[in-house]
Amino acid sequence: MNGIHRIQNVFTRGRPAFMPYAVLGYPTRTVSLDIVKTLSAVGADLLELGVPFSDPLADGPTIQAATQKSLENGTTLKDCLAMTHELRQQGMDTPALLMGYINPILAYGLEKFVADAAQVGVDGLIVPDLPPEEAAELEAACATHGLALVYLLAPTSTLERIKLITEKSQGFVYLVSLTGVTGARTDLPPDLADFVARVRQQTDKSLAVGFGIGNGRQARAVGQVADGVIVGSALVKRAGESVERVRDLAVELRTALG
């Protein structure tokens, strides 16, 4: 089964998918692997593994600080592939996406990166700063190796944009809940349900919502309108404290989704 099918199957379980994010290499290489294994063990349906980059334009202060620390620890894109391979070798079977920016991929070699990612057990990619108009080469490589390439939609997206992104995105469509960067918020955007409904009118693909979700109450509310709930900054903040703190929040989030 290729990565696209593995990701699609995540959304066939009769409840919203729990989709946590972790920064590879943060706070240390070893602890980041423990965190990913913990997220898998408590019931993550799909993992987003963050690749550190020096200019993470879609990310807020929490993830920026974590990725900077990971870079200071010496984490490279090659290391992220090695860590994914190590997790797979240790028996972690949860579908996983690498989420990172295009410059390190280009420096690595686009075709080689996709081939290597598939080889080590990556199921898909999220590249926030790569618009579909410039993604033909990456799309072709992903198609060759069976990886899902997931695109993002914002609340400000036009109907034309929604149609393009929902056509191109594979596995699911990533809906950014708000206009801004990542980071937990006190309240969810009041127009989130309307945004999800607008996108649903254009596609039968699964819709996952991320940005701004930080506790079980918010996860449950998002799960009432979306097929998947993505949580990043709140978990990354706890990653800087302890694996146990990550586990506690992950259990709360997973439980809230049924």
The ranges assigned to domains in the chain are 3-252
pLDDT at 167 over 80: yes
% of the chain with per-residue pLDDT over 70: 96
Q: In whole angstroms, how far apart are CA 155 and each of 77, 126, 132, 191, 250?
A: 30, 18, 18, 9, 26
pLDDT score recorded for residue 185: 47
For 188-211, what is each residue's pLDDT tens digit? Answer: 777 899 999 999 999 999 999 998
The full DSSP string for 112-139 is HHHHHHHHHT--EEE-TT--GGG-HHHH
pLDDT score recorded for residue 168: 97
For 123-152, what is each residue's pLDDT tens digit? Answer: 999 999 999 999 999 999 999 999 999 999
Tell me whether residue 191 is one of the annotated catalytic residues: no
pLDDT score recorded for residue 190: 78
Question: Choosing from 34, 45, 55, 59, which is the catalytic residue?
Answer: 59
* Structure confidence at residue 183 as a pLDDT band (50, 70, 90): very low
Taking residues 239-251, report their average pLDDT: 98
pLDDT score recorded for residue 130: 95
pTM here is 0.94
Q: Are strands 148-150 and 124-126 parallel, antiparallel or unpaired?
A: parallel
Please provide the distance, in angstroms rounded to a whole number, between the alpha carbons at the two ends of the chain. Answer: 27
pLDDT score recorded for residue 181: 46
pLDDT score recorded for residue 247: 98
Quote the mean pLDDT of the chain. 94
Question: Choosing from 34, 45, 48, 204, which is the catalytic residue?
Answer: 48
pLDDT score recorded for residue 224: 95
Specify the CATH number of the domain 3-252. 3.20.20.70
pLDDT score recorded for residue 57: 72
Tell me whether residue 133 is one of the annotated catalytic residues: no
pLDDT score recorded for residue 209: 97
For 11-65, what is each residue's pLDDT tens digit? Answer: 999 999 999 999 999 999 999 999 999 999 999 999 999 999 988 776 778 899 9
Question: Which of 182, 169, 168, 185 has the alpha carbon at shortest distance from 97?
Answer: 169
% of the chain with per-residue pLDDT over 90: 89
pLDDT score recorded for residue 186: 53
